[in-house]
Each structure stands twice: as C-alpha cells, then as structure tokens.
Amino acid sequence: MTDDIGFADIFVILLITIGPLKATIVYAKLTGKADAAFKRQVAFKTVTVAAIVCLVFVFAGHWLLGVFHVSLPALKIAGGLILLLFALDMVMGSEKKADEGDALPSADIAIYPLAMPLMATPQGLVAITTVVAARDSIGELIAVGVMVLVIMGVNLAILLSADRLLKKGGGGAMVVVGKVVGLLLAALAVQLMISSFRDLGVIAAATAAH
C-alpha cells in the first residue's frame, strides 16, 4: 500500500466505479416487463460475469502492465484522469434516456450492457489495474479480490431489490447519492495523480524550488 491510497480509499473507488449505481436503473428498465424468475437469472448472470472480468484484472493487472510496457506512474496519472472525468460526469452530468427500455427481454442483456460496461466499467477496470500494480504481495492481491467480491455481493442484493427500491423513490435517491460520491471520487482521483507525481519526484522538485 502507498501512504496516499489505503484499503479504505481503494474500497471507496471500487464501490463507486464497479458498484450498482448505474447498472441498477438500466437493469430495472430492461427487465421491467419480465417475470421474477427471469429477473433473478439476469441479476445473477450480470454479477457473475462482472465479477469474473474484475478478478481477471485483479490477478493479471501487473502482467498486463508488463505486456504493454506501461509504467506505474503513467498508469496512475491516466487512471486518475479517467476517474476524475468519470467523477465530474457523476456530479455535473445529466441522466441520459435509455433506448433499451422498449427492447424485449433477453438473457444477453446480462452480458451487455449490464455486466459490461455498466458494472465492470472501463473506469473500474482502470482503477483495479492501477491499485494492483502497486501491490507487492499475494495477500494484498487477495484483499483487493475480496473487496471486489464484497462489492459484487452488494450489487447482486441491489439488483434483486431494484423494483422495490425504484418504486419507493430509490431512483431519485440513487441520483443524489451519485452526486455526493462523485465529489469523493474526484478528490480520490486527484490524490491518485498526486501520488504519481511524488513517485516521479515532480512534487519534491517543485517544493525544493521554493
């Protein structure tokens, strides 16, 4: 672990980027006319696929960095920028109308768009790759993997409760929560970039100059 990004920070980043906020509303719209059994099938399949994709990035993230010859500071800066843009979109972006609401239910929606890119989001995969690149023990990788599984468990519980949550006004509440956590994610994204600048000595050099 770095001094700047700890387990709690990682958990918050992952909860926001691979959590249920965006996927749940789309899931409810896509499965609105389906029966309960179909909804459960889609929910379980969505979470299973998303979990597998995220775990691949947890345990193969460092290898992927080597294959593409990407340094950790470069990945931290890129990841921080992407996470910052994602956070700004959460805070200031407007909800887009989904075209998929009129589509007939199909099991394929569990893979696209629900599992990817709405649950195993590009931002989440970048975040996972960034945090595991700095891990130097199998124990830490397992800890991140456990975080992913815990979040996927939360995702499953929220998807299975989507109808009740949205009927009780949960949709509006989730939008408000999204704005608030977007602010937190923006701060964590900036912190991630500050950490990379320290790795490169940029901040130390600037301090010395003054």
The pLDDT tens digits for 153-169 are: 999 999 999 878 766 65
Give the pTM.
0.74
- Return the domain boundaries, the chain: 7-209
pLDDT tens digits along 191-210: 888 888 888 888 765 555 44
Q: Tell me how far apart the alpha carbons of residues 18 and 131 are, in angstroms, rounded to a whole number.
A: 14
pLDDT for position 28: 84
Q: Which of 63, 43, 41 is nearest to 51 (CA)?
A: 43
Residue 105 gets the label, from left (phi > 0), alpha (psi -120 to 50) or beta, of beta
Helix (H, G, I), strand (E, B) or coil at 179: helix
pLDDT tens digits along 134-157: 776 899 899 999 999 999 999 999
> Percent helix, strand and coil across the chain, each rounded to 5?
80, 0, 20
Q: Tell me how far apart the alpha carbons of residues 146 and 124 are, in angstroms, rounded to a whole number.
A: 15
Percent of the chain whose predicted confidence (pLDDT) is above 90: 28
- Determine the average pLDDT of the residues in 82-89: 84
Structure-block tokens of residue 179: 């704005």
128 contacts 134 by C-beta, under 8 angstroms: no
Helix (H, G, I), strand (E, B) or coil at 69: coil
